[in-house]
Amino acid sequence: MLLSLLGWAFIISLAYYAFRKQSLTTWIIVSMFIGIKVGYDFPAFSLHLKVVSQIFLRLIKTVIAPLLFATLVVGIANQSNLKQVGRLGWKSLLYFEIVTTLALCIGLLAINFTGAGVGIDLPENTLKNEIAQVPSQTFEEIVLHIFPENISKAIFEGQVLQVVVFSILFGIGLAMLGERHKRPMLDFCESLSEVMFKFTSLVMYLAPFAVGSAIAYTVANMGLGILVNLFQLLATLYMALLFFMIFVLLPIAFLYKIPVLKFWKTISEAVALAFATTSSESAMPKAMAALERFGVPRKIVSFVLPLGYSFNLDGTTLYLSL
């Protein structure tokens, strides 16, 4: 009883600090601790909180397609030379390929070195009932899946890569038009992107509540014991991620003279949001706005970042290799 009261006193002090701080990053981090406490002390109630995080994720996902379309079209159509788009594209893909391969190698080395996960068995009902059988795909099917047969269907199914491909081709087509025909559509896309950023700002007010609810549901549903059982595997994952950041991303930042501390402060809200919601999609609008504030031109942010969401999944690659 005393420990529980002390825990709530600590939570209240954190909430007061977050209220005084008035920072979204602080609110998100504090809401994670509140979620752990609520999920542990009120598990029955916490099982009903998942809907809050689901509402937040649904609202964020409604932003993705129109934001991708608008920013990509503006970024490409505003280029004075389409050859610049081609150069930016192949340089981005080359970087994605190299860095993703390094992430894969680091993950494989880490799991083979630590042997984490050995001895942890999934229940038979999980193996039989909960893990969906993924049908194998041929190379032709994989390539075909990149191109949308219906843009409305691609948006409905959340096929980000298909939306990106459609937006790139649309932007190139728009760039090839004369100014009289190009300007109305370009003005529309610029207005649409601004509206989507404002929409995102409104949805972000829900972020702390969504994060706290997601954590509370997870603790209530799985318990804290699961974290103890999987501690070695989790430790291996985060140590591998830390190694990747220090020995791959940090040297790249130094090479291109990026102010690391300023950059980290700029993207910290997006990182905290993605970590807490376990969804990188939830952080994309925030990341795009943050990078623009950091000084990256919108035409680069709107082109490279959406591509990265499809081709530069370093954390996912490292995680899957474990």
pLDDT at 229: 56
pLDDT at 9: 83
Q: Rounded to whole angstroms, how far apart are CA atoms 168 and 148?
A: 12
- Where do the domains of the chain lie, and which CATH numbers do they carry? 2-118+156-321 (1.10.3860.10)
Among 201, 217, 202, 220, residue whose Cα is nearest residue 278: 217
pLDDT by residue (tens digit) across 139-186? 888 889 889 999 999 988 888 889 989 998 999 999 888 888 899 999
Residue 159: φ, ψ to 5°: -85, 85
Q: Rounded to whole angstroms, how far apart are CA atoms 186 and 27?
A: 37
pLDDT by residue (tens digit) across 77-106? 877 677 888 888 899 989 998 999 999 899
Residue 165 near residue 148, CB atoms below 8 Å: yes
pLDDT at 247: 93
pLDDT at 126: 47
Q: Output the average pLDDT for the chain.
A: 83
Tokens 């993703």 found at: 100
The answer on pLDDT for 121 being more than 60 is: no
Tokens at 76, concatenated: 């490409």
- Residues sharing a CB contact under 8 Å with residue 64, sequence separation 6 or more, in sequence order: 158, 160, 163, 281, 284, 285
Which H helix or E strand runs over 12? helix 2-21
pLDDT at 115: 67
Which of 101-105, 119-123, 273-277 has the least mean pLDDT?
119-123
Residue 46 near residue 220, CB atoms below 8 Å: yes
pLDDT at 124: 53
pLDDT band at 250 (very low <50, low <70, confident <90, very high): very high
Residue 322 near residue 110, CB atoms below 8 Å: yes
Provide DSSP, 239-307. HHHHHHIIIIIHHHHHHTT--HHHHHHHHHHHHHHHHHHT-SGGGHHHHHHHHHHHT--HHHHHHHHHH
pLDDT band at 127 (very low <50, low <70, confident <90, very high): very low
Higher pLDDT, 255 or 303: 255
Residue 151 near residue 166, CB atoms below 8 Å: yes
Tokens 């993705």 found at: 64
